[in-house]
């Protein structure tokens, strides 16, 4: 299956849900969607196209919005689903019901961006240490690093 076949099937199956489809390089396809169409597109990729490997989910802070990229791969090509969510209401549905391994990436989105992943099977903190201050999300552009006080073992008190 080549890139054009995947693109043609995406256009036929997703129709207007695919807001934009680009093929910037061989074996790289980007499909832009509204967040409410994400589960439909993931289901289509898995059941009709055989894309069962989710390589990762990337998040990008664009200022007023967050862009999420779901990177799927098979032996023929990589399909990246792109969607945006507003920064003031950062919510998106979990895809774990379709791709169970997505849980690690979804937990990362919660920790690092403060994105609320609805219906995630396990929303516990994954990457941040215990006692991490709530509301501090290290991959947001407005996050400021504050150096913790230095503690010298056996030092002066």
Residue 3 above 80 pLDDT? yes
CA atoms within 13 Å, Cβ hemisphere of 47:
9
Report, as an integer, the average pLDDT of 83-91. Answer: 96
Structure tokens at 70: 């779901």
Domains annotated on the chain, with CATH: 3-118 (3.30.460.80)
Q: What pLDDT score does 155 carry? A: 67
| Cα 86-102-13 angle, rounded to 5 deg | 75
Cα gap 136→139, rounded to integer Å: 9
53-61 β-sheet, strand order: 20-25, 28-32, 78-86, 65-73, 53-61
Q: Using pLDDT thresholds of 50, 70 and 90, give the confidence band for residue 129.
A: confident
* pTM greater than the 0.85 cutoff: yes
Q: What pLDDT score does 156 carry? A: 63
Q: Where are the beta strands (DSSP E) in the chain?
A: 20-25, 28-32, 53-61, 65-73, 78-86, 91-93, 116-118
Residues in CB range of 141: below 8 A, 6 or more apart: 61, 63
Q: Using pLDDT thresholds of 50, 70 and 90, give the confidence band for residue 149.
A: confident
pLDDT in tens, 39-67: 999 999 999 999 999 999 999 999 999 99
Residues in CB range of 83: below 8 A, 6 or more apart: 32, 33, 34, 35, 37, 38, 67, 68, 92
The pLDDT mean for the chain works out to 93
Residue 151 above 70 pLDDT? yes
Tokens 């792109």 found at: 82
Q: Which helix (H) or strand (E) holds 45?
A: helix 38-47
Q: What pLDDT score does 157 carry? A: 58
Report, as an integer, the average pLDDT of 11-24. Answer: 97
């Amino acid at each position: 299956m080549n890139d054009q076949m995947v693109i043609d099937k995406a256009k036929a199956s997703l129709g207007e849900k695919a807001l934009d489809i680009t093929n910037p390089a061989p074996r790289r396809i980007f499909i832009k969607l509204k967040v409410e169409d994400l589960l439909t597109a993931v289901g289509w990729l898995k059941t009709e196209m055989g894309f069962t490997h989710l390589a990762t989910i990337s998040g990008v802070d664009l200022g007023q919005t967050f862009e999420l990229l779901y990177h799927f791969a098979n032996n023929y090509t990589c399909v990246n689903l792109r969607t945006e969510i507003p920064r003031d209401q950062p919510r998106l549905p979990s895809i774990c019901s379709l791709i169970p391994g997505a849980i690690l990436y979804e937990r990362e989105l919660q920790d690092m961006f403060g994105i609320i992943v609805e219906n995630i099977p396990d929303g516990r903190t994954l990457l941040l240490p215990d006692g991490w201050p709530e509301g501090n999300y290290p991959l947001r552009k407005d996050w400021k690093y504050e150096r913790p006080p230095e503690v010298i073992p056996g030092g002066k008190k």
